[in-house]
Amino acid sequence: MNERIDQAAGLHRHAAAVTAAAAIALDNYLPSPRPDLAEQHELAARLRSAAEHLAPGWLGAPLDALPSTTPLGGSRRPEFVRIGTGQPLDDATFPMLVPLLGTGHLTFSADARDPRVGGVLRSIVLRLLATAPAGTLIVRAIDATESVFRSFQPLADAGLMPLAVADRDGLRAVLAEAEHWCRPTRPESDPKSARERKAKPRRRDRSMLLVIASLPSMTGAGELARIAALARTGPTHGLHLVVAGWPGAALSPETTQERLALATPIKVKNPHVLVGNPPGAAYSMGRSLNVPVYLDPEPPVELVQRVCEELGASFTQQGAVHLLDLLPDPDHGWWAESAAAGLSVSVGLAGDTQVSLHFADLTPHWLVGGRSGGGKTAFLIDVLYGLATRYDPEELALYLLDFKEGVSFSEFIPTPRDPSWLPHAFAVGIESDRAYGLAVLRDLDAEMSRRATIFKNAGVSRYVDLRNLGEVLPRIVCVIDEFQVLLAGTDRTATEAVALLESVARKGRSFGIHLILASQTVRGIEALYAKRDSIFGQFPVRVALPGGADVLEPNNDSAATLQLGTAIVNTAGGLGGPRGASRAHEKLVRFPDPHADQQILTALRQRLWQARSTEDTPPIVFSGFAAQHLDDDPTYQSLRLDARLYSKSQQPRALLGRRVDVTMTTADFAFDSSPGRHLAVLGPSADGADVLEAAVRSLAAQHEPSTVHFVLAPLVATEHERVFALAEDLIDMGHPVETVDKVGLADTFERDDAYLVVWGMDTASADPRGMLREGPARGLHLLGWWRQLRRFSEDIGGSSGREDVAGLVFLNAPAQEVSLLVGTNVEWEPRRGRALFHDRHTGETSVIVPYTGASS
C-alpha cells in the first residue's frame, strides 16, 4: 500500500513540475512586435516535450499515428488531454493540451453539428477511455444528432458506456444521475468506518465524464441551469463536463448563457479555434492563447472500433460470472437443502465470494429495481435457477408473473420444441394481464387461509414448527415482474391488488409465502401512496440494478452508477451509511447473464425436469394474448374420454372458455329444466360464432347418441360453412341434427328436447319471448349470438325479461350496456381475446378467455 502511495505521490510531483515548467515557458514568452522565429521554434519544441510528459501515448499522440501495440488502461487518472495542434508558425507546431479530469470542464462554442467538433469529441473520449485505469472513468453522453458516438456501440453492448441519449427526457435522466453523483457526502462520525474507507476505493477514485455533443431541441432554461450548477460543484466530486455548443443562443431576450464555471472555453472559428484561459490560470497574452489551434481530426473508425471492442471484452472478461459459479455442484448438492427454516440462494459474486440472500422470517420478501434493459430478468432467472437447484419441488413452489411485453419466464414452460419445464413452477403468467395478477394474489391469500387451518389443526403457529412436525408443505415464492402494471391507476383492480399485496406481504412470512416484486419504477405508483410504507416495510431485501436506485433509501447513492451485470444488494430496507464505509448490510455483486450460454441453460432445465417426480404436472400457463382452444381444455379432454363424467343425473354444461384465475378453470353454463336456461353470446366480435360452436361441441360430447336434437340456424351468411361442418361432426357422433333458415326458425320454437343454436339471432324475425320463458321446462334451450345488444334487450322484453336468459357472454360490448343488462354496475373493459361471463343462476361474473378459432 505504501509503495502505491509513494508511486502516486511521485507521479503527482512529476506532473506538477512539468506543468510549472510549461507555465513558465509560456509566461516568459512575450510576443515581440516582430516575432523572433527562432524563439518561437524553440518554444514550440519545449511545449512538445512538456506535452510528451503530461500526456503521453493515447492522451497526446496523433491517433492515426499511434502504434497498434500501445496498451490500453494506464495506472492513474488522465488529467490533461490533447484537443488539437497549436500552430504559431507554418513550420512550428505543438500538441494543444487542456486540463480536464481533476480540474474542470471544456466547452466548445459550436456543437457537434460542426464536424470538427464531433470529431474532436470522439477523439477526446477515446483518449480518456483508452488511458483511464479500467473501470475508473464513467462516461455519459448526450447527443441530439445521434451520430457522434455511434461507433462506441461495443462499449454499450458491454455495459461500459450507455448509448448517447438524444431527447429531453434522456438529458434529464443523465443530469439527474450526475446530480446524484455530486450529492454531498454525509458527515463521517464513525472513526472505524473512516479508517476502513481509506482501504477501499472511494468515489474520488472514479470520475464521471458528461459529454454533451449537442443539446436536444426542446432543452429549456431549467436544464441549462442544471448544467451550469453541475459545472460549479462537479469537479470536487469527480464530475467533469465537455459541453459543445456552449454558450448557446439565448433562449429569450432576458436570458443570456454565461460562460460555464471552471471550464476551458474553446471558441470555434474557421478554420482554427481559440483556446481560452483554463480554470484558475491565465495565458499572459489575455483571455485566450494567442496561437491558432487546429482541432484534432476525428479518430479512424477502425481504431475506435478496435479500442471499444478491446475495452468491452476485457471488461466483460474481468467481471464475467458464470451461472454455474452460483449453483451447487450438480453431482453432489442438488435438491439437498431443506426449506424448513427458510430459503437461501447465491445471487452474485463480490470479488470471488458468493453473496447469498434469504427468504426467512427476518427477510421475507425482496424488492428489485432496475431500468428496462438493466438486467432484471437476468437477475431473476439466476435466482430462480439458484433456488430450483437447491430445493426439491416438494420444498419450493414458484408462481411467476410477468407484466411486460417480453416473455421473461417462458423458458420455464414446455414448448412444442422442448417439452421440458421447471418442476418447481406451479403457475406461470406470460404477458400477464391485471385480472390474472389479481387472481394470483387472491390465490396466495386463499392459500394463507388454507395454511392457517393446517397450522391450527397441527397446533402450531409458524411454518418452521409445522415442518419440524414432519409435515411437507412447500414454501412458495411468487415473482411479479413489472408489478407496477398490476397496481396502475386507482380502479377496483388496483385497490383490491393493493389490499391483497398488503395482506400477503404482512402475513406471508408466517405461512412460508414470499414475494419478489420487480419494477423499473417503484416510486410514483399512485395506488400505493397511502400504503407504501406498510407494504414496502415488509421488504427488507432490496436489490438495485442499473437505473434501480429508487429501491434504496433516497440518501443511499451506492447504486448511482452501476454497470450492467452488477447490483447492489441491501438487506436493511435500502438503508445507506457513510459513503465509502464498509456496510455489512450492503454489497455490490456481479451476477451472470444466464442467456449468455443458452445451451447450459437448456441443459440445466432438462436435467431438473428429468429429476421430477412422476406425479409432477406441467405448470399452469397463462399467456396473456394466447387464444384458448376447446380441444386443449382438460375438462373437455376428460369428458371426451368418458362422457359418463357428465351423466344424466348431472346437468349438461356448455364449455365457454377459461377463467382468468390461477388454474385457468373452465367457465361453463349448465342447462336444466329451470327457467332461464338459455345462453346469449353478445357483441359484434366474430368470436361470437366460435363461442357458440365450442358450446355446441362440448354439449354434444355429454349426450348419449340420439337423446337430444341439435337445430342449427346459421342466419349469418359467413357462418354457413362452419355450421355445415359442425352438423356433419354431430351426425358422426350419432346426434340428430337439423339446419334451418330464418323462415324455418319460428317453427322450431315449439319443439321439445333440443338445443336451438342461432348464429345471428338479431336477424331473426320471430318473437322468441314465449320460447324463452317456457322452453327449458320442455328441454328446449336456445344458444344465440346477438351482435347487437339493443336487439337482445328488445327480444327478451327489456329488463322484465332479464331472468329468461340466465347465461350471458359479453364480447366487445361497452361496460355501460353490460351493466344495464346484468342489472348491476359491472367493471369491464372489452378487449381482444377476453369476454365477460355472467351466470344469473350462480351469480358469477368473471372475465374469461373465450374459446376461439381452430384447436392447436
Ligand X SMILES: Nc1ncnc2c1ncn2[C@@H]1O[C@H](COP(=O)(O)OP(=O)(O)OP(=O)(O)O)[C@@H](O)[C@H]1O
Q: Which of 84, 437, 508, 592 binds ligand X (CB under 6 A)?
A: 592
Find the binding residues for ligand X in span 372-391 (CB under 6 A): 372-378
Q: Whats the size of the chain, residue-wise?
A: 856
492 binds ligand X (CB under 6 A): no
Minimal CB distance residue for ligand X: 565
Q: Which of 315, 591, 646, 710 binds ligand X (CB under 6 A)?
A: 591
How many residues interact with ligand X (rule CB under 6 A)? 17
C-beta separation of 818 from 810 below 8 A: yes
Burial (Cβ within 10 Å: 0-12, 13-18, ≥19) of residue 410: middle
Binding-site residues for ATP? 370-377
565 binds ligand X (CB under 6 A): yes
- What's the min distance (Å) between Cβ of 374 and ligand X? 4
- What's the min distance (Å) between Cβ of 596 and ligand X? 7
- By C-beta, is 565 or 768 nearer to ligand X? 565
404 binds ligand X (CB under 6 A): yes
**Do the strands 207-214 and 239-244 form a parallel or antiparallel pair, or are they unpaired?**
parallel
- What's the min distance (Å) between Cβ of 429 and ligand X? 15
623 binds ligand X (CB under 6 A): no
**In angstroms, rounded to a whole number, what is the distance separating the alpha carbons of residues 92 and 43?**
9
Q: Which of 564, 662, 771, 849 binds ligand X (CB under 6 A)?
A: 564
C-beta separation of 839 from 806 below 8 A: yes
- What's the min distance (Å) between Cβ of 373 and ligand X? 5
406 binds ligand X (CB under 6 A): yes
370 binds ligand X (CB under 6 A): yes
Of 658, 607, 300, give the one whose Cα is nearest residue 423: 607
- By C-beta, is 200 or 595 nearer to ligand X? 595
- By C-beta, is 160 or 849 nearer to ligand X? 160
- By C-beta, is 273 or 380 nearer to ligand X? 380
Q: Which long-range contacts (CB under 8 A, 24 or more apart) does 842-848 make?
A: 846/659, 846/660, 846/661, 846/667, 847/435, 847/659, 847/660, 848/656, 848/657, 848/658, 848/659, 848/660, 848/667, 848/809
Using the contact rule CB under 6 A, the part of the chain among 66-74, 294-302, 367-375, 530-538 near ligand X is 367-375
- What's the min distance (Å) between Cβ of 357 and ligand X? 16
Binding-site residues? 370-377
593 binds ligand X (CB under 6 A): yes
598 binds ligand X (CB under 6 A): no
Q: Which of 12, 195, 595, 832 binds ligand X (CB under 6 A)?
A: 595
**In angstroms, rounded to a whole number, what is the distance separating the alpha carbons of residues 41 and 90?**
10
Using the contact rule CB under 6 A, the part of the chain among 209-217, 322-330, 371-379, 602-610 near ligand X is 371-379
Burial (Cβ within 10 Å: 0-12, 13-18, ≥19) of residue 82: buried
801 binds ligand X (CB under 6 A): no
- What's the min distance (Å) between Cβ of 528 and ligand X? 20
Find the binding residues for ligand X in span 204-243 (CB under 6 A): none
C-beta separation of 525 from 487 below 8 A: yes
- By C-beta, is 154 or 592 nearer to ligand X? 592
Rounded (5°) CA angle 161-109-170: 35
- By C-beta, is 86 or 546 nearer to ligand X? 546
- By C-beta, is 561 or 685 nearer to ligand X? 561
**In angstroms, rounded to a whole number, what is the distance separating the alpha carbons of residues 102 and 377?**
38
H helix count then E strand count, the chain:
22, 30
**In angstroms, rounded to a whole number, what is the distance separating the alpha carbons of residues 242 and 212?**
6
- What's the min distance (Å) between Cβ of 237 and ligand X? 28
- By C-beta, is 104 or 565 nearer to ligand X? 565
Rounded (5°) CA angle 256-262-265: 65
- What's the min distance (Å) between Cβ of 163 and ligand X? 13
Q: Which DSSP category does 667 fall into?
A: E
- By C-beta, is 161 or 654 nearer to ligand X? 161
- What's the min distance (Å) between Cβ of 513 and ligand X? 24
- What's the min distance (Å) between Cβ of 135 and ligand X? 15
Q: Which long-range contacts (CB under 8 A, 24 or more apart) does 246-251 make?
A: 246/107, 246/108, 246/109, 246/212, 247/107, 247/109, 248/111, 248/215, 248/224, 251/220, 251/221, 251/224
CA atoms within 13 A on the CB side of 191: 0
C-beta separation of 855 from 629 below 8 A: yes
CA atoms within 13 A on the CB side of 645: 15
What does the binding site for ligand X look like in residue numbers (CB under 6 A)? 159, 370, 372-378, 404, 406, 564-565, 591-593, 595
